[in-house]
Amino acid sequence: MPSSAPAATPQTSRNRYMVWLVAGAFFMELLDSTIITTAMPQMAASFGTDPLHLSAGMSAYLLALAVFIPLSGWMADRFGARQVFGGAILVFTLASLLCSVSGSLAQFTAARILQGFGGAMMVPVGRMVVLRATPKDKLVTAIAMLTWPALGAPVLGPVLGGWITTHLSWHWIFLINIPLGLIGFGLTLWLIDGQPGGRRPFDTPGFFLSGIGCSAIMYACELASHTPFSPTRVALSALVGSVALWAGVRHFRRCAHPLVDLSAFQVVTFRATMRSGSLFRMTINAAPFLMPMMFQLAFGFSATEAGLMLLALFAGNIAMKPLTTPWMRAWGFRRVLIVNGLLVVAGFLLCIPLAADTPRWLIMAVLFFTGLSRSMQFTALSTFSFCDITPERMSGASTLSSILVQMSAGLGVALAAVILRVAQIGFPAEAGLAMSPDAFRVAFVLMALVSLAGLRDLLPLPANAGAAVSGQRG
């Protein structure tokens, strides 16, 4: 009796491998934004500098991403997606080698800037390649594969970095990227079609305005999470970034060939998910920042125990993946996003009663639950964003999405850091602890409220929005 399932064609297998390639590149890029956090003491000793100065390496990487992501769409349109994606992998790999052989903080920072440039090209261009090659009815599965790096890298990065630093040396944090990058480049030549680029003019004013705006906002986010806290510098950087972005948006709307095409915002589903998604991503990305700090500073757990606890969050992220497609097919995007959005809110509220004497299994169960809801919301938002985007708008939409995802992640961590600093004034730490658990409880309450506000743009959407992509029945 013949099988009812259609046999996989060479093209569908090729697309599946391509999605895994892009997901692997995403993971490599996102991992390098967090993996050095636990290696800073050893790296500082190697460079002969204070560990606090190593934050320049993290900041340089994040600022380079912010500056060059707006350039990615123009690069792909001008030179071709395969050329840019493959070139980005090579640049990232070369920069990783330079990071590993750096002998000073200045050399390391320069290498991180180059690495950030490569990463800025990989993410939006890789997503665009997948979106253009994937049929609408397969989009949920493809996006589910692309979102796990964004959920897993912030959790696994510090744990993996600590293990590598302890058992090998900090150099291997970057050396492991070299064989992976070379394999990725070879797979790019095999899996991604090489289409020539076009003669799209370069928007110089738009590049400078977007670069200044995005980098200043990201720098303000970095400053907000640092100690000691300088409210004047944070406010000044945020003001410069906001003014530059406002001027950039005005320029893009008037420019005949804008660096960043804003026309995707005319699509109702894209606009709604970008606005609501930014709020959800802020809170979801704040969780891996808040929870290990709470475990160590307010509960007195060791760094190793805090890292192991956080793995329950990652386990929830992975466990949800097989359920994503059938649930969206059964319920549709709107209902999944609203119901699961309420579960995201519930996840933050469940963290409020946690204390140092709470059974470890119960803490891990709460983290596992929050991981489930984070994963579903990330995948649903990422897929729904592009369900009505036409091919001619795909480049601009991918660039816009990458900009907002990057900035909302930084804003979420910054918001959580500011909330903790303010809460510390009203809730001083008990003897023997660096921070009061009540300060974190205030942060969880406010994160829940921000998540709740993210539902506002989803409520007016029709019940069958995105049905062609989700496969919604009825």
Per DSSP, 296 falls in state I
Mean pLDDT to the nearest integer, 223-248? 82
* 57-to-27, 114, 246 alpha-carbon distances in Å: 19, 11, 28
Instruction: Say if CB 298 and CB 434 are below 8 A apart.
Output: yes
Q: How far apart are CA 11 and CA 403, in angstroms?
A: 31
Band of residue 151 on the pLDDT scale cut at 50, 70, 90: low
Express each pLDDT in 252-262 by its tens digit. 988 888 888 88
pLDDT of residue 261: 83
Helices (H), 294-332: 303-331
Q: How far apart are CA 216 and CA 365, in angstroms?
A: 38
pLDDT at 405 over 70: yes
Coil, strand or helix: which one is 119?
helix
pLDDT of residue 3: 41
Band of residue 131 on the pLDDT scale cut at 50, 70, 90: confident
What percentage of the chain reaches a pLDDT higher than 70?
A: 86
Residues 6+ apart with CB under 8 A from 202: 74, 78, 259
Mean pLDDT to the nearest integer, 422-437? 77
Q: How far apart are CA 206 and CA 65, in angstroms?
A: 16
Express each pLDDT in 191-233 by its tens digit. 777 666 667 788 899 889 988 888 888 888 777 766 666 778 8
Instruction: Say if CB 60 and CB 113 are below 8 A apart.
Output: yes
Look over the chain and give the mean of its residue pLDDT values, rounded to a whole number. Answer: 80
Q: How far apart are CA 337 and CA 42, in angstroms?
A: 43
Band of residue 474 on the pLDDT scale cut at 50, 70, 90: low
Backbone angles phi, psi at 257, to 5 degrees: -130, 75
Express each pLDDT in 53-68 by its tens digit. 666 666 777 778 888 8
Per DSSP, 435 falls in state S
Residue of higher predicted confidence among 452 and 297 = 452
- Name the most confidently modeled range: 142-156, 371-385, 400-414: 371-385
Band of residue 155 on the pLDDT scale cut at 50, 70, 90: low
Alpha-carbon Rg for the chain, nearest whole angstrom, is 22
Among 36, 274, 27, smallest CA distance to 151 is for: 27
Q: How far apart are CA 54 and CA 46, in angstroms?
A: 11
pTM for this entry: 0.77
Mean pLDDT to the nearest integer, 414-440? 79
Band of residue 269 on the pLDDT scale cut at 50, 70, 90: confident
